[in-house]
Amino acid sequence: MILYSTKHASPDVSLEEAVFRGLPPDNGLYMPYEIPTLPQSFFDTIGDLSISEIAFEVAKALLGNDVPESDLKGIIERSINFEAPLVGIEPNKYVLELFHGPSMAFKDFGARFMAALMSYFLQKSHQDIHILVATSGDTGGAVAQGFYNTPGIKVTILYPTGKVSDIQEKQLTTLGGNVTALEVDGTFDDCQSLVKQAFLDKELSSKYNLASANSINISRLIPQSFYYFNAYAQLKKAGVDKPVVFCVPSGNFGNLSAGLIAQRMGLPVKMFVAATNINNIVPNYLASGVYEPRPSQETISNAMDVGNPSNFIRMQLLAGDAYEEVVKHIAGDFSNDDDTRVTMKDVYDKTGYIMCPHTAVAYRGLSSYMAELGEDVTGVLLSTAHYAKFLDVVEGTLGTTVPVPERLSALLSKEKVAIPMSTEFSDFKNYLLQL
């Protein structure tokens, strides 16, 4: 796999270099020159394949000769070893539950695959690396779990103070070991900016081998494509053959970009719906053709509180680049907090299904699109996190107590360990240089 920078001012790189660099020197994003199309025979038999078998075939096609097949199978077996079930909740509407991994969020797919891939490359090169990651909620917990005690890897997680749920905060501040949490006095955008500046700083780059575990890293997107194929496989196995619409709750737009990769590889998708909260920069772009980032606003669907989505350019390129092409593949919708609460309550009252706020945003986006489309399609909405990670919001909205998995409830009694950090890059740089 050969990758280029979206700003076209940095040299092309191999997969290994892209994984460890994270960002090109010109501050673009790495993109593969070629995205292969899978053969029709794969789709003919996909309903008979497990998620790990699907993951192996997709990864093999994307990575080519970068990782030998025997090693790639080992990477898949270590990282994609949990299910992503498709649950029907209403006629023609399905929830793709992506929260059955260790941290109970969809980020487990990307973080665990990335950790296994990095570990494979590090064993070959005998190097150590320091991972920097910004989180608006679930990325931090997934990265902490995925990289915990991985030899040769240190992890520093930056998260905005007061803007993640209690359980999310405990997931990324209680592991210790090779994982350190920095509590930043700002927004997710501030955290993301600090990480990006660190990668571009020559003094830091000369002292450390820095890498990113955010969705700016291409190795995060590759495994996220797996579950789109797996959803289609489950539909096919169930005998559902209507055109498929995926609705993706979106913040940094890595998740939706991964879906577009799957589509480019041949997955039959009628449309993607980008569903956001009031940080609706991309839905506004899809409606007007004008892309205008702005400071993020705090909502109850906090993992999507992103005002300048890092993966926008990837999404744009994968969907055809020109606005006229992008809107052929992606529609947009957004919800405010009142909309989200109403959706959570309505779905629970009608079906008994409990949704986290992000899932509710996706449900509303899918319902709006299907009603407007007026065609007989199958709608699949991505559920990105277990509802119990947002317990106060969920119970307050539903007006009842809800069951909490033991592995999440056990976190609440653990002591948070986090280092306060300002939004000034000089402070963050000094902290890193003193390590």
Three-state SS letters, the chain:
CEEEECCCCCCCEEHHHHHHHCCCCCCCCEEECCCCCCCHHHHHHHHHCCHHHHHHHHHHHHHCCCCCHHHHHHHHHHHCCCCCCEEEEECCEEEEECCCCCCCECHHHHHHHHHHHHHHHHHHHCCCEEEEEECCCHHHHHHHHHHCCCCCEEEEEEEECCCCCHHHHHHHHCCCCCEEEEEECCCHHHHHHHHHHHHHCHHHHHHCCEEECCCCCHHHHHHHCHHHHHHHHHHHHCCCCCCEEEEEECCCCHHHHHHHHHHHCCCCCCEEEEEECCCCHHHHHHHHCCCCCCCCCCCCCHHHCCCCCCCHHHHHHHCCCCHHHHHHHEEEEECCHHHHHHHHHHHHHHHCCCCCHHHHHHHHHHHHHHHHHCCCCEEEEEECECHHHHHHHHHHHHCCCCCCCHHHHHHHHCCCCCEEECCCHHHHHHHHHCC
How far apart CA 68 and CA 55 sit, in angstroms, is 15
The DSSP-derived string for 61-112 is HHHTTSS-HHHHHHHHHHH--S---EEEEETTEEEEE---STTSBTHHHHHH
How far apart CA 338 and CA 351 sit, in angstroms, is 20
Residue 217 DSSP label:
S
Catalytic (active site) residue 416: no
107, 163, 170, 389: which is the annotated catalytic residue? Answer: 107
Which residues face 272 on adjacent strands?
A: 246, 330
Q: Name the residues annotated as catalytic.
A: 107
